[in-house]
Amino acid sequence: MASSNFIDYVKINCRSGAGGAGSVHFRREKHTPKGGPDGGDGGRGGHIILRGNAQLWTLLHLKYRKHVKAGNGVAGEGGRRSGAQGEDVILDVPLGTIARDPETGQQVAEITEDGQEIILFAGGRGGMGNDHFKSATQQAPEYAQPGEPGREEWVVLELKLLADVGLVGFPNAGKSTLLSVLSAARPEIADYPFTTLVPNLGVVAYRDYKSFVMADIPGIIEGASQGKGLGLRFLRHIERNSILLFLIPATSENIRQEYNTLLNELREFNPELMDKTRMLAITKMDLVDDETRQILQADLPKKIPVAYISAVSQQGLDELKDIIWQNLTNSEPV
């Protein structure tokens, strides 16, 4: 997943179509004197519609499309003929996309299912023709309704990745390595901080052809919730994960302190993240001996599942997947 191709924020100007005007028309036929009004209605303007597309994973296709305009409705005609509706514009977006008002930040739409459609901005209604206004006392109305104007507004589209498990940790905690070993994803891996510049998704195969989705989020540092590092931009992707899997290396000087720091950054960003299921994986276990492992166990956070793993030596990976599946399905591991 190249960093230049992963776009999770766009701001676009949308204009829905105006409705067509109603027609002022009177029936004129040789053998029908006083035919009366027969003006048709105008067609409605085109909608701006968001549609979920499971084949998309980024908003790249909308990055350079700053203006979106739907078609206007056609005016009505005589003979009670209604005008054609304006052409709708459908914007395909990845699952997990949220539409917000750029001024207030208020959420106006959310796409979570493939094929789901939401009218973002409705087209203007078509005006009624003079046929609607005839009455016993007004048998020849010479007026009709104009069409309603469309809406023209800016909207912000944000993508929050949908995943079962989100990997949370400091830079170089082994998140990308774990994802590359458990799935077919190929994130960039190197021995310097902030190797991961964009979120990566991978499908992890489990027993009996089952699977779950894991997301590798760019590393969090202390102060990420205030904008330091890359964390602030990508912390929102963690909001859509069912399980938060904290990764801390066995070589860390103070595992409990690192865990508390990560937890505090999530709490500062969004207190609701504290309600999600949390797990802890101690990574790089191939670098420590049994004696060090016993010392580590005495200083680990309580009341959360802990797995000891090494992505390099494949140690503890099956046990980790068992624990994840158990928490995802509230069932006993196989």
Helix (H/G/I), strand (E/B), else coil: 96 = coil
Same-domain status, 169 and 249: yes
Same-domain status, 186 and 280: yes
Question: Is 49 labelled a binding residue?
Answer: no
Res 191: pLDDT: 44
Q: Does the reported pTM lie above 0.95? A: no
Question: Is 176 labelled a binding residue?
Answer: yes
If you ran DSSP here, which 8-state letter would residue 240 be given?
A: G
Question: Is 219 labelled a binding residue?
Answer: yes
Has residue 2 been placed in a domain?
no
Question: Is 195 labelled a binding residue?
Answer: yes
Same-domain status, 258 and 169: yes
Q: Find the CATH number of the domain harbouring 244.
A: 3.40.50.300
- Which ranges of the chain have pLDDT less than 70? 1-6, 184-199, 219-236, 331-334
Question: Is 174 labelled a binding residue?
Answer: yes
Distance (Å, whole) CA 149 – CA 161:
36
Has residue 291 been placed in a domain?
yes
Same-domain status, 178 and 319: yes
If you ran DSSP here, which 8-state letter would residue 138 be given?
A: -
Same-domain status, 39 and 140: yes
Same-domain status, 115 and 179: no
Question: Is 172 labelled a binding residue?
Answer: yes
Res 255: pLDDT: 86
Question: Is 175 labelled a binding residue?
Answer: yes
Res 222: pLDDT: 54
Same-domain status, 59 and 74: yes
Has residue 4 been placed in a domain?
no
Has residue 1 been placed in a domain?
no
Res 195: pLDDT: 42
Question: Is 135 labelled a binding residue?
Answer: no
Has residue 60 been placed in a domain?
yes
Q: How many domains does the chain have?
A: 2
Res 334: pLDDT: 44
Same-domain status, 109 and 191: no
Res 228: pLDDT: 47
Question: Is 23 labelled a binding residue?
Answer: no
Has residue 218 been placed in a domain?
yes
Give DSSP secondary structure letters for 36-73.
Answer: -B-PPPPPPPPPEEEEE-TT---SHHHHT--EEEPPPP
pLDDT digits (tens, 9 = 90+) for 209-225: 888 888 887 766 555 44
The distance in angstroms from the start CA to the end CA of the chain is: 33
Question: Is 58 labelled a binding residue?
Answer: no
Question: Is 250 labelled a binding residue?
Answer: no
Question: Is 144 labelled a binding residue?
Answer: no
Same-domain status, 149 and 232: no
Distance (Å, whole) CA 43 – CA 20:
5
Has residue 169 been placed in a domain?
yes
Question: Is 196 labelled a binding residue?
Answer: yes
Question: Is 173 labelled a binding residue?
Answer: yes
Has residue 88 been placed in a domain?
yes
Last residue of a domain, one of 159, 186, 201: 159
Same-domain status, 23 and 58: yes
Same-domain status, 317 and 236: yes
Same-domain status, 126 and 63: yes
Q: Find the CATH number of the domain harbouring 45.
A: 2.70.210.12
Show the domain range for 25: 9-159
